[in-house]
Structure 1
Amino acid sequence: MKIYVDADGCPVVDIAVGVAKEYKLEIIVVKNYAHEIADLYATVVSVDISRDSADFYIINRIEKGDIVITQDYGLAAMCLSKKAICINQNGFIFSQNNIDGMLNRRHLYQQLRRQNKYYSKAKKRIPEADREFEIVLRKLIEKHNFQVP
């Protein structure tokens, strides 16, 4: 099992790396070259700044049972098709049961934004979201029979 982080704009990179290190799991942090991320434990991969470069890097390398941390519904859908486990920065687990509805809602909101009928405003991140993410990530790792060595 490996952990991949779609790191562009991801607020939980440090938490994910800390958990991976504790469980002695390989973690690959994928970012475009405009972001500055460095870590002594994680493998940090810089990709082109073009749209979806990080997504393509991840989807071409993941294997069944890998964990992918992303807020991108499209990447989550592709990862699920390869039997990877997908989680967002708030601890929400993407699944075959919920991804279609999320993709449909994303498409609807894109249409409304193009018509200037919908404006989304990101909520300020709260510390409880970090704690929930860490709890869910640990449960996923332990569910797949990985214990602290």
Structure 2
Amino acid sequence: MTLTILIDADACPVKDEVYRVADRFKADVRVVSNSPFRIPDSPRIKRVVVDDGFDAADDWIAEFAEAAPPNTCVVITADILLAQRCIKSGAAVLAHNGKPFDTASIGGAVATRAIMEDLRAGMDGPMGANAGGPPPFSKADRSRFLQQLDREMNRLSRLPPAQN
């Protein structure tokens, strides 16, 4: 069984970390984006450039995850709605900071996203809809991501073939 890691790559700060972990587990990687990125020269790593259409990269990732056999796909994304789609397909999903999304957490994440979107839309003044945002990406985030990705890959690689 080959594991596949799908990267929502346009704003992903952990691509190099994914490549290293994928190499250790002999996993395939798909780097999905609206524009080309440099990728390592490896037969297991493929670049997928989609058109600039709204959510084109998300659609490609979600469709791949849906078509993949159960327990063979890990999606790396900060997009909560994409995470929700992929979880429904049975994929494991991690945010760039290492936070796992799963069936227990995704509902709250989607609700919080909707509330924050409404709050930003209603803001007046010089800050407008640009106020706030995620905190800067840190070394601790990178470390947490590596630990969580390694944990997830170990879990998936140990599943018996009947579940794959």
Q: How does the TM-score come out when normalised to structure 2?
A: 0.83
Partner amino acid for 1:95? D
Give 1:37 shift.
3.0
String of CA shifts for 1:15-59, please: whole Å, max 9, x gaps: 0011101211101110112x5333212111111122211100111
5+ unaligned residues in a row in structure 2: which ranges?
A: 159-164
| SS in structure 1 at match of 2:118 | helix
String of CA shifts for 1:55-76, please: whole Å, max 9, x gaps: 0011111122210000001010
Query: Larger Rg: 1 or 2?
Result: 2
Q: Distance in 1 between matches of 2:27 and 2:18?
A: 10
The aligned counterpart of 2:133 is 121
Q: Is 2:32 aligned against 1:40? A: no
Q: CA RMSD, aligned part only?
A: 1.5
Q: How many residues align?
A: 145
Matched ranges for 1:26-65 at <5 A: 26-33=28-35, 35-41=36-42, 42-62=45-65, 63=68, 64-65=70-71
Give 1:104 shift.
0.7
String of CA shifts for 1:99-134, please: whole Å, max 9, x gaps: 111101111111111111672133222112111111
Quick one: percent identity of the two aligned structures? 27
Q: How does the TM-score come out when normalised to structure 1?
A: 0.91
Q: Distance in 1 between matches of 2:4 and 2:133?
A: 33
Q: Distance in 1 between matches of 2:38 and 2:134?
A: 23
Higher helix share: 2
The aligned counterpart of 1:9 is 11
| SS in structure 2 at match of 1:144 | helix
5+ unaligned residues in a row in structure 1: which ranges?
A: none
